[in-house]
A and B are shown apart, each in its own frame.
Chain A
Amino acid sequence: MKFTCNTKDISGAVGAASKVVNAHTTVPILSNVLLSADGGKISVRATDLEVTLEHAFPAEVSESGSVTVPAKLFSSYLGNLQAGLMELTGTPTRASVKYERSSYDFHALPAEEYPPLPAAQKGQNFRISAKRFRDGVNAAIFAASSEEARGAVLMGTLLEIEGDSITLVATDGYRLAKYQTTLESGISGSEKYIVPSRALIEAARNLGGAEFVDVTALGAQSNQLMFSAGDASITVRLVDGQYPNYGQVIPAKFDRSMTVSTPSLIAALRRAELVAGDRASMVKLAVSNQTLIVTASSDVSGNAYEELEVEQQGEDLTIAFNARYLVEILNHIESAQTVMEFLGPLSPAAIKPVEPTEGAQQLYVLMPLRQ
């Protein structure tokens, strides 16, 4: 195999692919990226057997073929090259690079040993605007669990597709994020997929700059999803399991609410949290007389008191939250004003933007702290 390409093209593709490589893998070939040259194009592939990323870029191919090179080493090397042309020659055991007046030989592993692409039987497919995809991933997945011990289902994000509507849901059991928007082209009927959240992060990062993202179910049991845009694609093995019935924990009706300036509330909570100290980061919110009073205290640090003007509807309420959770939710609300809806001090609260982003609906549910 032999080709000549632009250093920036190959550096970008290998850099993106190397993010998928598991640094702790015990299978040597999985530390490598696969470069395949064919018909004027080079494709770069990396996998950890759960997530597979493929990126292609144009090159002048003089001899087609494939080679695998250590991902981290090769991407660091490429990152240190200036813009220009380089030539790569691959054999089963070696990848040789010529760039300006330098030449490097990298140890390679035979390309035949690289895991083949997942089964290609295609199922349902839909198309979403890349911007909405990026917004949805950004708005939802922070609420997914990061605790492996709690299982892959909660670490995943639910994609619910019904006709031309898509809903992304993530929850760790304490808070829940839900983002709903319209697809460019939908499916007939409905589908549910639980996608490992890190795959969605990679997909948003690599495909978010395009105009559209195409999503295709793969495999006889539709146990994989492929996200693709232009010359890049990400294929992910879906989580096998039952997603919790989230609809049932979102109250249908609330009896009290307040509307508050998003940045002011974030600032007040951040200051109060400093005093709240211990792990639970407890802040109390008392709504009364069109005023919100935020308090926190700890034996070690002292007391915090913040007053904010709000638009209150319904009865007065005092409720306690983990400040960290609440701030994290508010940080994902772009609207200048946020509305919080309540049922009582121990019931779930809903948090949403007063002016949602056009074409999308965003909702968060947060459980309070019992004092």
Chain B
Amino acid sequence: MIAHFDIDAFYANVEIRDNPDLRGKPVAVAGSSRRAVVLTASYEARPFGVKSAVPLWRALEACPDLVVVKPNMQKYREVSHQIFAIFERRGHPVQGLSMDEAFVDFGDCTLDAGRELAQTIRGEIFEECRLTVSAGVASGMMVAKILSDSCKPDGLESLAPGREAEFLAPLPVGRLWGVGPKTQTRLQERGITTIGDVAALSDERVRAIFGSWGMELRDLARGIDRRNVEPERETKSISTEETFEYDVCDEKQLRELLREQALELAQKLEKEGLSACTIGIKIKRADFQIIVRQTNLAEPTMDAQQIFVSAVHCLQRAELGRSPVRLLGTRVASLVAGEPKQQTLFAGSLQ
């Protein structure tokens, strides 16, 4: 049995825990810069559309009473250490996805035993950290995560082994791992809207639509999840990539995607309180040749613009000419805890 744990509205609830005046109010944790986005919002703020990654100004527009708290990464990291110590207490393999989210592999045990263990861990976290956690228990990682997402906040959900395919079938195809919003749109155009639709595809169609990873994806859709919980918590790098529907030659279009990816990575870095010293890109050309370029920075950054500029620099160094590109990705590595921060002489003007 595998359990997925996800602390409810982590940063916001840590702040509310430490400042009871905030209780019951719409609270958002966000930086104070011009481009700040909401890192976490309390459940009271969510009906207003205030959630992670929403620009702060828009959140304030939607919810004028929103209480905005500055993030205290050091505190969140300490609490995260405390919580992970609870996950690891019984010697189970633990795979962290971020500061507030992890898989725990309970090994061979019955569903009931798994539920009980998950309940105990939730109790310990509430007892020791005063935070609520939602958990999903299932035979595989993907289903466990879907379950914990669906019972938030403060819930516990489980699924008996053997019922995975049936459970997954009606869910939208976007819930499948590896299917992002763009792929989802593409699939919908072909009439594939639910996970069940993927599960029902023939060998030929699945290969034609998804290529080499199609079989794996269909297995997942059928509830066959072979991945193991890999106990490594420290984030070594963060990356994002996208396969184009049609191969792209236009450098402007490639840059546009790099800009989006830089923004996405910057948000993830900010959320984790990390900065990157290495920025790299990965290109898969139409002939399937893979090109990797990376660059090192003198000072770690979590700034989207700087990630973008470095990624574009890597793109130029790849000397693609006009050769068509099938896949483009950005990666940040050599991660360090965000602070202390080197101050700059020419604030912002050098970007």
Q: Give A residues with C-beta under 8 Å from B.
A: 145-150, 154, 171-176, 244-246, 249, 278-280, 282, 320, 322, 346, 348, 365, 367-371
Binding site for A on B (CB under 8 A): 277, 279, 295-300, 309-310, 313, 334, 336-337, 339-346, 349-350
Using A148-B313, A173-B350 as known contacts, say yes or no to A368 and B295 having CB atoms under 8 A apart: no
How far does the Cβ of B268 sit from chain A's closest Cβ, in whole Å?
19
In Å, the complex CA distance between A279 and B278 comes to 12
**Chain A to chain B contacts (Cβ below 8 Å), 22 pairs:** A148-B313, A149-B279, A149-B313, A154-B350, A171-B345, A172-B298, A173-B346, A173-B350, A174-B342, A174-B343, A174-B345, A175-B345, A249-B345, A278-B336, A278-B337, A279-B277, A280-B336, A346-B343, A367-B344, A369-B341, A370-B339, A370-B341
Besides A174-B342, A244-B349, A279-B300, 11 new A-B residue pairs in contact (Cβ under 8 A), listed by A number: A149-B297, A172-B298, A174-B343, A175-B345, A278-B336, A278-B337, A279-B334, A322-B342, A346-B343, A370-B339, A370-B341
Closest B residue to A153 by beta carbon equals: B350
A240–B259 Cα distance when bound, in Å, is 26
A322 / chain B contacts, CB cutoff of 8 Å: 342
Contact partner of B346 (CB less than 8 A), chosen from A249, A279, A368, is A249
**Of B299, B310, B337, B343, which one neighbours A370 at CB under 8 angstroms?**
B343
Contact across chains for A145 and B298 when beta carbons are under 8 A apart: yes
**CB-nearest residue of chain B to A244:** B346
Chain A residues in 8 Å Cβ range of B299? 174
Name the residue on A nearest B299 (C-beta).
A174
- Per the bound structure, the CA–CA distance linking A154 and B339 in Å amounts to 25
Q: For residue B297, which residue of chain A has the nearest CB?
A: A147
B309 x A320 contact (CB < 8 A): no
B237 to chain A, nearest CB (A): 15
Chain A residues whose C-beta falls within 8 Å of the C-beta of B296 in the assembled complex: 147
| B343 with A367: CB separation less than 8 A | yes
Q: How far is the CB of B2 from chain A (nearest CB, A)?
A: 31
| Nearest 3 pairs of A and B residues by beta carbon | A149-B313, A367-B343, A369-B340
- Report how far A148 CA is from B309 CA in the complex, Å: 10
The CA-CA distance from A145 to B295 in the complex, in Å, is: 14
Contact between chains at A367 and B340 (CB < 8 Å): no
| Residues of chain A within 8 A of B334, CB atoms compared | 279
What residue of chain B has the Cβ atom nearest to residue A249's Cβ? Answer: B345
**B-chain residues with CB within 8 Å of residue A369 when the two chains form the complex:** 340-343
B339 touches A367 (CB 8 A): no
Q: Name the B residues within 8 Å of A244 (CB-CB).
A: 345-346, 349-350
- Whether B336 and A147, one on each chain, are in contact in the complex, defined by CB atoms closer than 8 angstroms, is no
